[in-house]
Structure 1
Amino acid sequence: MKKITAVIPIRKGSQRVINKNLRPFAGSDLLTIKINNLKKVKGIDDIVVNTDSEDAIEIAINLGVNFHRREDYYASSECTGSDFFEHLGNVTETEIFAYCPVTSPFVKIETMEEAIKDFYNDVNHDCLSTVSVVKEFLWLDGKAVNYDPENAPNSQNLPNIEALNFGFTLVRREDLIKNRNIIGKKPKFTKTTDIESIDIDTPLDFFVAEQIYIKTVLETKGLLD
């Protein structure tokens, strides 16, 4: 079996939700939750926190996982997505790269394990990534994108547009560096549930995700007083 390294990208300068990766979340924090979940995933050989945050490095050390201290440019707004992905590939010694942002706290351990098995058994695709199905009436530049306004369908009959949610992505390191992207030329998508698809990007996202986490994770496990 090839080595799989789960990389958790953490930038201390998050802009829309200040310090969202490390601020208190349901009695813990998003980074700690992500590390503890990844430790339970069969098939993951190593966990690396890629960060410019000394606080994140301290959490990584305390939880017994590795870290890469990110250079300033790759933590700045000047760094493009392509530059950043290439950087992740260049500094991560592995064969298969797993992209695991903390902003997706609901991706199930079972979902990740099934994705790993699927990726190993598939020779026709160069990456596997989680997606959400979008059933919305979409417009761009004053034009409908996915339906005919003169023959408007019911919402359930709209096409199943798949949106990357980046909850869990697997890609071979060589392809990550070559393509400068975690999404390859022949991607395979696996659909996640509505809750698993939650991505924390705004203050409202953070608030809603915390309430859902308390209800669906902590209360069901009896971890609340």
Structure 2
Amino acid sequence: MDKKKIVAIMPIKLKNERLPGKNTKMLGDKPLIQYELDNLLATGMLDSINVYCSNEEVCQYLPQGVNFVKRSETLDLPTSNFSQIFEAFSKEVDADIYVYAHATAPFITKETMVECMNAVLSGKYDSAFCASKIQDYLWQDGEPLNFDATNVPRSQDLKPIYRETSGVYVYTKEVFEKYHRRIGKNPYIKEVSFKEAVDINNPEDFDLAIAMLPVEL
């Protein structure tokens, strides 16, 4: 069987609205952007790891072995979405399988990344993503969403609902070509811990991440 080409993309903006400069902000002893890049490198499974950014200043933060791919400044607009960013990137860097990584998820482990990539490589799944399991009493529009309010079950007996976390998305080239999205029709859902699910978007998230860093003795 031919070896599949696996390529990682990490889209980066250096100017952020909710937490200015978050991607290059120091988290412990290294910038936020380096956490997930280091773990992608550690998997040893990727043909290339690419930071997709309009500003070459990001290069000073990239570990050895990570490529800089310049993108149009139009993709930095607040209205830019995944489809626009990935479509532009995929025209420049071809692959059989893509790993879409977010710098804002510093605690996603190498093991989780490997598990997601292997799930798609196996051919049993067309995509993989990370998620937090929610098993609680949920309401929507004033009505119970996942339980009978007249016969309330134990919380552990509720049917789990999964919430996407940023982490990593792994998907075949065909998934995007066919559905124009990063999750296909037969995804592998990787349940992650509370720590792995941390996604940094605002100052409070950053404070949480600092509190979760290993304590040096």
**TM-score normalised by the chain length of structure 2:** 0.88
User: Is the contact made by 1:17 and 1:203 (CA closer than 8 Å) also made in structure 2?
Assistant: yes
Residues 55-204 of structure 1: pairs in structure 2 closer than 5 A? 55-60=57-62, 63-123=64-124, 125-204=125-204
Unmatched segments (≥5 aa) in structure 1: none
Q: Give the 3-state SS of the residue equivalent to 2:26 in structure 1.
A: coil
1:43 counterpart letter in structure 2: M
User: Is the contact made by 2:36 and 2:107 (CA closer than 8 Å) also made in structure 1?
Assistant: no
Rounded Cα–Cα distance in structure 1 between residues aligned with 2:92 and 2:42 = 24
User: Is the contact made by 2:35 and 2:107 (CA closer than 8 Å) also made in structure 1?
Assistant: no
C-alpha displacement of 1:171 = 0.8
User: Is the contact made by 2:8 and 2:48 (CA closer than 8 Å) also made in structure 1?
Assistant: yes
Matched, 1:14 2:16: yes
2:60 counterpart letter in structure 1: E
C-alpha displacement of 1:172 = 1.2
Deviations 1:190-215 (CA, angstroms, capped at 9, x unpaired): 21222222222222111111220233
Rounded Cα–Cα distance in structure 2 between residues aligned with 1:136 and 1:84 = 35
Rounded Cα–Cα distance in structure 2 between residues aligned with 1:52 and 1:103 = 18
Rounded Cα–Cα distance in structure 2 between residues aligned with 1:55 and 1:34 = 19
Identical aligned pairs, as a percentage? 29
Rounded Cα–Cα distance in structure 1 between residues aligned with 2:10 and 2:81 = 18
Q: Which residue among 16, 22, 31 is the counterpart of 1:29?
A: 31
**Between 1-10 and 77-86, the greater mean CA deviation after superposition:** 77-86
- Counterpart of 1:2 in structure 2 is 4
Deviations 1:145-181 (CA, angstroms, capped at 9, x unpaired): 2222333333322221111113122111232243221
**Between 39-48 and 139-148, the greater mean CA deviation after superposition:** 139-148
Rounded Cα–Cα distance in structure 1 between residues aligned with 2:180 and 2:70 = 20
C-alpha displacement of 1:116 = 2.1
How many residue pairs get aligned? The number is 215
Q: Give the 3-state SS of the residue equivalent to 1:149 in structure 2.
A: coil
C-alpha displacement of 1:76 = 0.8
2:95 counterpart letter in structure 1: T
Unmatched segments (≥5 aa) in structure 2: none
C-alpha displacement of 1:109 = 1.1
What RMSD over aligned residues (CA atoms) do the two structures have, in Å?
2.0
C-alpha displacement of 1:119 = 1.8
Rounded Cα–Cα distance in structure 2 between residues aligned with 1:85 and 1:4 = 15
**TM-score normalised by the chain length of structure 1:** 0.86
2:84 counterpart letter in structure 1: D
